[in-house]
Amino acid sequence: MENERGKLIYLATLAYLAKRYDDMTKSMRKVCEYEIELTDVERELLAIGYKNVMTTKRASLRALSSIEEKEDSKGNKQNVKLLNKKLEIVKHEFFSVCNDILSLIDSHLIPSTTNVESTVYYYAMKANYFRYMAEFGSDAERQGAADNSLEAYKIAMEMAEGGLSPTNLVRLGLALNFSIFNYVILKSTESACKLAKKAYDEAISELDGADKQSYEDTTFIVDILRDNLSVWTGGCFSFSEVIERVYKYGFKRSGLRPVTIDLKDGTVVHFWVSKTRDESKPNLLLIHGLGASAIWQWYDVARRLSPHFNLFIPDLVFFGGSSTTRPERSDVFQAQTLMRALEAQSVKRFSLVGLSYGGFVGYRMASMYGDAVEKVVICCAAVCVEEKDMRDGVFSVSDLDEASKILVPESVKKLRELIGYIFYKPALARLVPPCLLHDFIEHALTRDNLKEKREMIKDIPKDRIVSEIPKLAQPTLIIWGEHDHVFPLEMGYRLKKHLGDNGKLVVIKRTGHIFNFEKPKTYVKHLKSFLMQTKQQVPVSNGSVKS
């Protein structure tokens, strides 16, 4: 029996990889009939299969309903009649999918479940599918489905509040989906926002009061908020502001505090730094890339590295809380500015990690201040780019002006283009609602300093020749995403060749330009392995490593 069950799970996995979701549901339906409690992975296979089949039918119903309204408004009765028949067919298919999973939940999944989290998960799933049915049913069908959905949500909420932490993913997902039910089905914006805010406040309260809170629980809040943006917008919250608030809590729990350094020349640099500097720990500078401010890009890394280093995490000039009235736009200016700000904090020796554009700045610092910089990590930064590379088609976008508009987007369209370049698998990210992308531009990326940021990008390849780029004397780790479409992997190998024995290249498989988000644990593992080596240990070796 176990072999047959295992075979079915394997077939469901293959169907998932091949995006054959109907096959996926057939296999997982048979798995459920074994009356054996599903593991978390098996539970997700079941949910993904049915959700994708249901979503396809749901999209068809919405599209056909929209067309029917247009035809009806034009008085095309014959077309309306044809559309009604088609709608009935698709509606029947849609309800069949929903009833199928609801039957499995009642007859197999809930009876075979032994823990609170799984039970809450299945009741929440039950409530969600009744909610989907309430969207498209007749008046009588809609009322019955809505009543069943409400009953299941209430049972799930009572169990979740009694047995799950406020930061638990299942509890948060349930609470926020329940708020969507209030918003979409019951048409009660007040109740929807009240439920969502209660879930958020309870989770934040627990996070704020905990000395050690897992990263996974914290990011769960962000993930659920992202999936349920429609509840948080509409005058209640800014999605990006909510995330930034969570990130600030995370930085503070990691022992960091904000400071502002005024360099007295029209330049101000904002930092997050370790509250207490431990002389037994090495100093580490983390330099972010283009995009949002430092807190967005180093959130997970800071948590994992703060026990081992005195951290210094600045906003580059024109980002976050850092600004200048000076006209310089070069990576040299950014490097000089950071060095002056560190000296103002009596930081004499440090290692650094530079991410993307921050890698250019970090490389400049290492070459200009060799006595101060001990170790260097350059992450997906095409330091060895030459001006002619733009003309030779080395990059996906060969026009520098167009590239700067994509890398520093001010419209949803350009942000979607950027998403296509920076992710290894951008398909899901491309489905993010326009309102979410707009919110991210307004509150995280901001429209401030667009001109200055684009001038920074255009300055990078200007008059640049590899032979004139200084070679670093420090041990240097180069980290690259295998499928980076912003700075292709070729640039990583070029930098490795330029540095010779002082450089080591690590390629993180199945990642794009933002591997710090796609595989954060792997990324931090390489950082710690390299940065925490002592001088007595083996120095950086020649060659490259894939992970």
Confidence (pLDDT) at 399: 85
Q: What is the pLDDT of residues 408-460, one digit of tens each?
A: 999 888 998 898 899 887 765 555 667 678 778 888 888 789 999 999 999 99
Confidence (pLDDT) at 229: 40
266: left (phi over 0), alpha (psi -120 to 50) or beta: left
Percent of the chain with pLDDT over 70: 88
Q: What is the pLDDT of residues 245-277, one digit of tens each?
A: 778 878 888 899 999 999 999 999 999 999 999
Q: Is 434 exposed, middle or buried (0-12, 13-18, 19+ CB in 10 A)?
A: exposed
Confidence of residue 363 (pLDDT cuts 50, 70, 90): very high
Confidence (pLDDT) at 433: 66
Of 35, 538, 441, 9, the C-alpha closest to 238 is 441
| pLDDT beyond 50 at 381 | yes
pTM listed for this prediction: 0.62
Confidence of residue 50 (pLDDT cuts 50, 70, 90): very high
Confidence (pLDDT) at 391: 79
Write the CA distances from 49 to 40, 99, 113, 477, integer angstroms. 14, 14, 20, 41
Q: What is the pLDDT of residues 134-155, one digit of tens each?
A: 988 777 888 999 999 999 999 9
Angle ∠(435,441,443) on CA atoms, nearest 5: 95
Of 409, 407, 410, 411, the C-alpha closest to 395 is 407
CA gap 94, 417 in Å, rounded: 33
Q: What average pLDDT score do residues 200-208 get? A: 66
CA gap 212, 146 in Å, rounded: 40
Asked if residues 460 and 360 have their Cβ atoms less than 8 Å apart, the reply is yes
Q: What average pLDDT score do residues 396-404 get? A: 86
What DSSP designation does 468 have? G
Confidence of residue 543 (pLDDT cuts 50, 70, 90): very low
What is residue 484's three-state secondary structure?
A: coil
Q: What average pLDDT score do residues 347-355 get? A: 97
